[in-house]
Structure 1
Amino acid sequence: MSHETILTNARIVLPDGVLHGSVRVRDGRIDAIDAGASDVGEDLGGDYLLPGLVELHTDQVESHFQPRPKRFWDPIPAVVAHDAQMAASGVTTVFDALRIGSGPGENRLAGRASTLVGALVQAADSGILRSDHYVHLRCEVATPDVVDVFDDLGVSDRVRMVSLMDHTPGQRQYADIEAFRTYMVGKHNMSEGEFASHVAELHELSAAYADTHRGAMAERARARGLRMAAHDDATLAHVAESSQLGVHISEFPTTIEAARAAREAGQAVVMGAPNIVRGGSHSGNVAAAELLAAGLLDILSSDYVPASLLQAVFRIVADDAASLPEAVSLVSANPATAAGLLDRGSVSTGLRGDLVRVAPYEGASGAPVPIVRGVWREGMRVA
């Protein structure tokens, strides 16, 4: 049975401009985009109409699964709650980033990855979720079991992306050991002696496994045709290595030199939207705004704050750092292309009718606060 949705009197954010007009979605695809208000359809009252957002790296589902230390929620309700939060933030395509690879002092999440992957796959395949979900496996290469776990979990068709991570302190994200000390002592209440022992153990694991497992994971990703991301590259040597492994995406490069080298190697550069909203990196690394100004930023990820995607878009525009269509592409067309999802990511005829209604609002601090007032996935209202 045919289904049609018409949204009218909207400021439609197109790839190359903003049009006051109407969008018609028929049987899940955008069928027409017309200038001017229509006599039929839902009146959006002049609000913005954006393409549905595409999120490549959010680990928020883990927070719903483990809402407090050592306390785990039923995985299906956890996935459903996470999905509702993502949809309410305007995200219609989600790559849920789940860590695999268990190291010392872990909070047991990595050891339960199979449970969470199973819940995500079951919920997505059963049609109970609002957004379109895929699995992004965050592979901690400096751990003994990461390859074995991937061999168990990576067979699902929902697994579409892997990232090669190495959080060993003293390099990459934690090149500044004091930043790592602040994180571990603050979050895990480690004493100074415990911290020193923990760092020594992590260095031993890295020496034993990191290089071997990085190559093994890349080989498996290539064999399965998965999108592959490097994580926290900091040096030219890091980028050269990731390029040789066949990496498509550079997630959160920590220096402008690494970001520039990644772009020259044909990798799409991803930075955190919270970095834009907060005005910098919480680890003291390069700021996303600096990469944007240098023309080296392709994609924004919400990472740990789902609502940050739209907040970052409107902050970029308010700061005159980019036009609205350019800023929107960072959270829609560009991540869709990087993920190989060429059927979505912009308000264009023939593409999926994934759409978000946004009303701008000025917060108490004067910062823009985008209010999501409606979300459609393939023309069907989901939020």
Structure 2
Amino acid sequence: MPVEQILTNARIVTAEQEFVGTLVLRDGLIAQVEEGVSGLPQAQNLNGDYLLPGLVELHTDNLEKYMSPRPGVDWPSASAVLTHDAQIASAGITTVFDALAIGDVNPRGKRMQQLPAMLEAIASAAAAGHMRADHRLHLRCEVCHPDTLAVFRDLVGHSLVQLVSVMDHAPGQRQFAKEDKYREYYMGKYHLSEAEMNAFIVEQVDNSRQYSDRQRRSIVADCQARGISVASHDDATLAHVQESAGFGMSIAEFPTTLEAAKASHELGLKVLMGAPNIVRGGSHSGNIAAAELAQQGVLDILSSDYYPASLLQAALLLAGQDNGYDLPRAIATVSRVPAQAAGLHDRGEIRVGLRADLVQAQVHGGQAVIQQVWRQAQRVF
């Protein structure tokens, strides 16, 4: 990697504005940001393409589809991680929090069995320098599962764990306040019969009563002691939000109602919604649309969730809607704001002294087309 690089004739998007300009990269950092086009022969001409900060993804379970590409197929974890990483980088994501689920609500799922292999594969590939993106771990804690707290305590000390979320997917509240949506989702996704679904609902409701409150409090306390950022999940009511704020959480993942999103925003939690929600035009669970939260000015962070390429696409769509989000503010929802919410203050925007994590992109007919991606000034796509 050259000690110094010059990228010029780019439409640079900073935290405040966009302009045609030049970046000088030195020793993996942004050394200069200037308006105008460089005439130096060594400068790389980006031909007027957008130059954006590398995207920061806080919540994606994309790795799972490569671990189990078809029902009954268990793919080697080392290969799955590298394939996942390549897709992440090609989507312009330079920092990714791989969401590993503790506690599986799928009665036929393999998340708990796959968890050790996934964690080890991520850690090994990162330590060997094989990753294109910078990978961190996000522990998704299903607090209504009997084993969640024990497994969490086994894993939380891992050096890559830097984000934890607590969730309860039992029916009758939060994401699945409407039981018909719960039935539709789980019966469709996991091919349960009516009798299996009825038994599953009884079990989940009972587990939630027994375990959720105690395990949520214990997990949050452990994170606070370690200085790990914590996110709520699927808050639906003012009481949910007040509890999350009282726990000192920094992120509100996927609030399901406008009331919860507004209250989260007002109490200092960064409101995170799914980028697929923006791209598809609504929630697949029948909850509040991310675009509606943007119109209210309370959408802070976008996450690709299950579809990495949705992240930049959603930010561009957000900037094109009548909602008060210009391009710098829209790009901040996928870069600066998530980075800061996770405690990463060395990246997330184009500014002198920060990491040279960058994305060169074109836009054709509203579609983002990524040309190059750099992580600490080294090209990874």
Q: Deviations over 1:118-164 (max 9, x none)?
A: 11111112211000000000000001111111111111110001000
Give the C-alpha shift of residue 205 in structure 1. 0.8
Task: Determine whether 1:327 maps to 2:304.
Answer: no
Task: Determine whether 1:26 maps to 2:29.
Answer: no
Mapped contact 2:144–2:168 kept (Cα < 8 A): yes
Aligned counterparts, 1:95-114, within 5 A: 95-103=97-105, 105-114=107-116
Give the SS at the match of 1:360: strand
* Range with greater deviation from structure 2 (199-208 or 236-245): 236-245
Mapped contact 1:8–1:44 kept (Cα < 8 A): yes
Q: Deviations over 1:333-363 (max 9, x none)?
A: 000110110000111000000000000011x
- Between the aligned partners of 1:339 and 1:102, the Cα distance in structure 2 is 25
Give the C-alpha shift of residue 112 in structure 1. 2.1
**CA separation of 1:124 and 1:308: change in aligned 2, threshold 3 A:** same
- Between the aligned partners of 2:44 and 2:158, the Cα distance in structure 1 is 39
Which of the numbers 340, 353, 367 marks the counterpart of 1:350? 353
- Between the aligned partners of 2:322 and 2:105, the Cα distance in structure 1 is 44
- Between the aligned partners of 2:96 and 2:263, the Cα distance in structure 1 is 27
Equivalent position of 2:14 in the other structure: 14
Superposition RMSD in Å? 1.2
Q: Deviations over 1:301-322 (max 9, x none)?
A: 0001101111111112222432
Equivalent position of 1:379 in the other structure: 377
Give the C-alpha shift of residue 2 in structure 1. 6.4
* Range with greater deviation from structure 2 (318-327 or 255-264): 318-327
Give the SS at the match of 2:364: coil
Give the C-alpha shift of residue 281 in structure 1. 0.6
Mapped contact 1:102–1:111 kept (Cα < 8 A): no
Equivalent position of 1:365 in the other structure: none
Give the SS at the match of 1:24: strand
Give the SS at the match of 1:212: helix
Task: Determine whether 1:361 maps to 2:364.
Answer: yes
- Between the aligned partners of 2:71 and 2:181, the Cα distance in structure 1 is 22
- Between the aligned partners of 1:289 and 1:140, the Cα distance in structure 2 is 27
- Between the aligned partners of 1:108 and 1:165, the Cα distance in structure 2 is 18
Mapped contact 1:101–1:111 kept (Cα < 8 A): no
Structure 2: segments with no counterpart, 5+ residues = none
How many residues get paired?
378
- Between the aligned partners of 1:273 and 1:175, the Cα distance in structure 2 is 22
Name the aligned partner's letter for residue 9 of structure 2: N
Equivalent position of 2:197 in the other structure: 195
Give the C-alpha shift of residue 65 in structure 1. 1.2
Q: Percent identity?
A: 50
Give the C-alpha shift of residue 175 in structure 1. 0.7
Q: Deviations over 1:196-230 (max 9, x none)?
A: 11101111111111111111111111111111000
Equivalent position of 1:251 in the other structure: 253
Name the aligned partner's letter for residue 150 of structure 1: F
Q: Give TM-score, length-normalised by structure 2.
A: 0.97
- Between the aligned partners of 1:163 and 1:357, the Cα distance in structure 2 is 32
- Between the aligned partners of 2:263 and 2:105, the Cα distance in structure 1 is 30
- Between the aligned partners of 2:118 and 2:180, the Cα distance in structure 1 is 32
Aligned counterparts, 1:1-383, within 5 A: 3-39=3-39, 40-103=42-105, 105-321=107-323, 322-362=325-365, 368-383=366-381
- Between the aligned partners of 1:79 and 1:208, the Cα distance in structure 2 is 35
- Between the aligned partners of 1:104 and 1:303, the Cα distance in structure 2 is 18
Mapped contact 1:114–1:153 kept (Cα < 8 A): no
Give the SS at the match of 2:18: strand
